[in-house]
Structure 1
Amino acid sequence: MVDTLVCSETELADGKMRLIQAGQAEIAVIRKDGRYYAYENLCPHQGGPACEGVLMPAVRDVIGAGGIYRGQQFDEAEMHIVCPWHGYEFRLSDGRHAVASGLGLRRFEAFVREGSVYVRA
Structure 2
Amino acid sequence: MTDYLVCDESDIAEGGRRVVQCGQHEIGIFRIKGQLHAWHNICPHRQGPICQGHIYARVIEPVDERGQVRLLQYDEGDQHVVCPWHGYEFNLETGRCNGNDRMKLFRAEIAIRDGAIHVIV
Q: Normalising to structure 2: TM-score of the pair?
A: 0.87
- Distance in 2 between residues matched to 1:88 and 1:68, nearest whole Å: 24
**Structure 1: runs of 5+ lacking an equivalent:** none
Deviations 1:2-49 (A, max 9, x none): 332210022222222112223422111111232101001011111211
Number of residues paired by the alignment? 121
User: 1:81, 1:91 within 8 Å by CA — same for their partners in 2?
Assistant: yes
**Unmatched tracts of structure 2, length 5 or more:** none
User: 2:3: which partner in 1?
Assistant: 3
> What residue number does 1:84 align with?
84
2: distance between equivalents of 1:70 and 1:40? 37
Q: Which has the higher strand share?
A: 1
Deviation at 1:69, TM superposition (A): 3.3
Please tell me whether residue 75 in structure 1 is matched to residue 75 in structure 2: yes
Q: Is the 8 A contact 1:30 1:36 kept in 2?
A: yes
Give the CA deviation at 1:91: 0.7
Report the equivalent of 1:109: 109
What's the secondary structure of 1:45's corresponding residue? Answer: coil
- Answer yes or no: is the 8 Å Cα contact 2:82–2:88 preserved in 1: yes
Normalised by the length of structure 1, the TM-score is 0.87
Q: Contact 1:36 / 1:111 at 8 angstroms: preserved in 2?
A: no
Q: Which 10-residue stretch deviates more, 30-39 or 104-113?
A: 104-113
Which letter does structure 1 place at the counterpart of 2:74?
F
Which residue does 1:27 correspond to in 2?
27
The CA deviation string for residues 32-91 of structure 1, in whole angstroms up to 9 with x for no partner, is 232101001011111211110111110011134465533220001111011111111011
- Over aligned residue pairs, what C-alpha RMSD do you find? 1.8
